[in-house]
């Protein structure tokens, strides 16, 4: 069985500050891990993905995440927050393949203060 | 990245009527698509797995007769909410899986039953 835990349902940062959104996973098989972003009344957009290659993954909009097996973590970071980063962020895990379900975390709402 | 188109973006219907939502993969074939429901400020709840040419697989607690899923081709899955009631009002999102398990999402459909 697989699961994802996102610590912090709300995170608030100042514009220009570091963004850190936490995600821990549980998986009995090697996981594939993803971060998605959702803007109000829209679908989810893929930010980045880990699929057993490099442990430091770079995504769109300046985001990156590091897969740490020893900590079962896949935290999302961005060095400098922008107002346009304000959105809901979801971490997700799957065991891979085109027919396997994605298991989502509960989401973290990121607010960026001017 | 791959594109998934969902239509309509929003719909208002009267209680007791049925509503059909379409999900299309525009530039790739998807043997499997997924339908999610999202309540305000919550994560995505998987409703069912839509399999091309066969019956959908529903998650526990999801009424098969209320949420009819058809996946008649490799690029189209439909969700029909039958005899809709106000409690069915929600944001419905579809996704299609890529080759390594990453999900490409539609824009979502805001359903309001009055």
User: CA of A104, closest CA in chain B: separation in Å?
Assistant: 7
Q: Which residues of B touch A29 (CB under 8 A)?
A: none
Q: Which of A3, A4, A44, A106 to mutate to test the interface with B (most CBs of B within 10 A)?
A: A44
DSSP state of A17: S
CA distances from A37 to A13, A28, A78 (A): 17, 26, 13
Residue-wise pLDDT for A48-101, tens only, equals 999 887 899 999 999 999 999 999 999 999 999 999 999 999 999 987 665 678
Question: What tens-digit pLDDT sequence spans chain B (114 residues)?
Answer: 678 999 999 999 999 999 999 999 998 888 889 999 998 878 888 999 998 888 899 999 999 999 999 998 889 999 999 999 999 999 999 998 777 667 889 999 999 999
Does B101 contact chain A (CB < 8 Å)? yes
**Do residues B97 and B74 lie in contact, with contact meaning Cβ atoms separated by under 8 Å?**
no
User: Which among B6, B30, B43 has CB closest to A43?
Assistant: B6
Identify the pLDDT of residue B101: 67
Identify the pLDDT of residue B19: 97
Dihedral sign from CA coordinates of A110, A85, B47, B90: positive
Does B35 contact chain A (CB < 8 Å)? no
Identify the pLDDT of residue A98: 56
**Residue A42 to residue B107, Cβ atoms within 8 A:** yes
């Amino acid at each position: 069985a697989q699961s994802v835990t996102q610590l912090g349902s709300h995170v608030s940062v100042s514009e220009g500050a570091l963004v850190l959104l936490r995600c821990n996973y549980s998986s009995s098989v090697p996981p594939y891990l993803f971060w998605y972003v959702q803007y109000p009344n829209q679908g989810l957009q893929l930010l980045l993905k880990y699929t057993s290659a490099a442990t430091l993954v770079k995504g769109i909009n300046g985001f990156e995440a590091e897969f740490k097996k020893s900590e079962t973590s896949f935290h999302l970071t961005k060095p400098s927050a922008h107002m346009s980063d304000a959105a809901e962020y979801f971490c997700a895990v799957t065991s891979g393949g085109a027919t396997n379900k994605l298991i989502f975390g509960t989401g973290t709402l990121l607010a960026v203060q001017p | 990245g791959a594109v998934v188109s969902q239509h309509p973006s929003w719909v208002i219907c009267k209680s007791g009527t049925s509503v059909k939502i379409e999900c299309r993969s525009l530039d790739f074939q998807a043997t499997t698509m997924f339908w999610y429901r999202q309540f305000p400020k919550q994560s995505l709840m998987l409703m069912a797995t839509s399999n091309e040419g066969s019956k959908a697989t529903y998650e526990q607690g999801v009424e098969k007769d209320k949420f009819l899923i058809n996946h008649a081709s490799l690029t189209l899955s439909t969700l029909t909410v039958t005899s809709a009631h106000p409690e069915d009002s929600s944001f419905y999102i579809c996704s299609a899986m890529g080759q390594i398990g990453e999900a490409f999402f539609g824009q979502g459909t805001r359903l309001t039953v009055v």
